[in-house]
Structure 1
Amino acid sequence: MLDKNLKGNHHKLLYYRYRPTGVEEAKVRKVRDTEQAYRKKELEKIYIPEDEVKRFSLDKHGQPIPYVDGHMTVISNYIYDYWGHFFSAEGVALYGHLKRYCYGDKDYCWPDLNLISQKMNKSRNTIKKILLTLERHGFVLVFNVQNADKNNMEESPLFKVRKKVPFLPMDLYEQLPTELKLDHDRYMQGIVEQFDQILRLDPSIDYSEVYEEVINKGTVVRKIKTPLELDKELSNKIKVLENEISDRDRQVWDMALTSMQSKLSKPSYDTWLKNTFCIKRGSNYTVYSPSNFVSEWLQSRYDKMIREAISAIDSDFDQVDYDFLNYNSFNQRGE
C-alpha cells in the first residue's frame, strides 16, 4: 500500500508553485459589453517533490522568540503587538486560522479557503492578497495541489505554516511608529532580563530566495499551446498594440522609414523594413517585425541605421528594442 500523502490519504498528490516567466501575454476582456485589451504576466508551473515540500520549513529562518509565560494566547502576543503592524488585522486573523489546523508537530494544513473567507467576511481575492503578504514575511508558503490519481484534478492548496514566531528583522523594527518602537524596546528588555542573554535583531531575510531554493528542486512543466490558442493570443496582442500605438509613433516611424529607404536597395527595404512599425514606451522604442528572423536581422545588421533614423526625428530616447508578430491584420486596420 502506498504511504499516506501530506493530506493523510493514499492519493498521489502533485505539489506545485507558479512563477512568472518574464513574458507578458496579451489578453482581452469585456467590460460593460466593450472589449478591453490588457497585458497579463505569463506564469509557469513548477512541480516540487513531496519529500521537498515535507522537508521545507520556514522555522529554519529567522530567530525564534523564546516561550514566556503570560506572553502566549492562541498565538504569540508578539504577532498581535508587532507583526500585526505589517500584516494588518486581516493578516493576523488569517495566520491564526491557518495555524489552528496545524495540530501537534504538523507545520502544514489544507483548510477550505472559501470557508475561511466567510469566517473573516472577506472575498476570496482579498484572502489571496493577504496570503501574499504572509508569504512575503515568511509566515506561510502556499503549494497548489493536483490529484494525479484523478486525472490531475485540482485540489485545495496545501499551506506550510511557520509555527515559531521570529523577532522582527531590524529594517522592519525601524519602520515601526515611535510609540510602538518604544513598546518593542521594553518588550526586548524584559526578555533580556528574564533570560539573561544579549539579543540583537537579525537583518531581513529575502524569502523570495528561500522559496526559490525549494522551487529549484522541482520540475518545470509548461503548457503546450494549441494553434487555436496561439491564434487567439496573437489576436489579443494585436488588439493591445492597436490601443497602445499613437499617432506620434506612426509619424516617427514613417519618417524614419523614408530616410532608410533612400539608403537601401528596393529588395533590401522590402525584405527587412516594409512591414514594420514602432511604439515608444517611456524612453525606449520597440520596433515590431513580421517574424523572429526579421527581428533578429534588424537588430544585428540595421540597428545603427535605425537608431540614427529615429534620432534625427526624436533624440529623446535611450534604446531601441526589437519584437515580432504576424500582424498583417494590424497593419490593414491601422492604415
Structure 2
Amino acid sequence: MSEVNLKGNTDELVYYRQQTTGNKIARKRIKKGKEEVYYVAETEEKIWTEEQIKNFSLDKFGTHIPYIEGHYTILNNYFFDFWGYFLGAEGIALYAHLTRYAYGSKDFCFPSLQTIAKKMDKTPVTVRGYLKLLERYGFIWKVNVRNKTKDNTEESPIFKIRRKVPLLSEELLNGNPNIEIPDDEEAHVKKALKKEKEGLPKVLKKEHDEFVKKMMDESETINIPEALQYDTMYEDILSKGEIRKEIKKQIPNPTTSFESISMTTEEEKVDSTLKSEMQNRVSKPSFDTWFKNTKIKIENKNCLLLVPSEFAFEWIKKRYLETIKTVLEEAGYVFEKIELRKVQ
C-alpha cells in the first residue's frame, strides 16, 4: 500500500516554490504597433522532499505566547465557509472581535468601538456600518447605554452576541430576485443585498450541500429555514421596551456675541469634519446638546473649539476632548494644540 501524502491521498506530489535567480530574461512584445524588448526576472523551482516539509515548523521562530485557558476565541467553520460570503472579511473580523469580548458564558459585551476600529485598521464609521450588517443577519443586537448616576452621560453600547451559528436560509442559498436595494443604502449593505438576490455561488452551494449531507449521515437533524424574517427577529424584545421622551440637558442658548463669530474657509472645513464625525460617535441628543453650536478657530497652528457656556466647556472637556483630538488626527489635521475656549 502506497504511503499517504500531506493532502491525505496516495498521489506522488512535488513540493516546491518559485524563486528568482537574480538574472533577467529578454522578451519581445508588440506595443502600439511596434515591437519592443522588455525584461522579466528569471525564476527557478526550489524543490523539497515531503519529509523536509513535515520537519519544517514556523513555531521554532520567535517567542511564542504561552497557552492560557480562556485566551482563545473559537468560531464555527460554517460561519467562515458560508456566512463569510454575505458578511465579507470585515464583517467576519468584527464579529470575531465582539465574540472575543463575550468570554465564558457571557452573551454580551461592551468594548470600545474606537479600539476595535484601530485593531481592524478601519474608521469608526466603517465599523458602525458592519455592525448594521451583523444585526441584519441576527448575529448581534445593539442597545445604547446612558448612565443615570452620572447625569445621563452616554456610555459605550452593549452588544448581545449570538453564540450559535444559524444555518443559511433557502433564500440565501438560492437567491431572492425580489429583493429591493435602496439607493441610499450604505455600500457594503448594498453589496450584501445584491448577493442575497443572487444566492450562494455554485461552488459554495456544492460545499453546503455536502455539509448538509454529512450532518444527515451522522444522524443530525437539519432543518433549513425558508427565509430569515429580519423584521420579526427582534419583535419580542422590542415589544417590552418602554417609550420615553428624549432626555435633554438644559444649557444656555448661544449669545449674540458668540453667534457673530465668523469662520474662515479652512476653519469651516475643520468644523464640518469634526461635526460630521461626532454625529457618528454620539447619540443625536448628545450631539445637538454639545456640538451643534460649537465653532472652530485656528490660531498659530493651534485649533480652538469655541463653546457658548461654562457648562458646555466643562462637560466637553471632561468627556469628549480626547475623542475630538482623535477625530481630527484621523482626519489628517495636524495642530500643535487642540483646546477648548469658552465664549459668552
Q: Identify which of structures 1 and 2 has the higher relative contact order when contacts are C-alpha pairs closer than 8 Å and 6+ apart.
A: 1
TM-score bracket, normalised by the shorter chain, equals 0.3 to 0.5
TM-score with structure 1 length normalisation?
Answer: 0.44
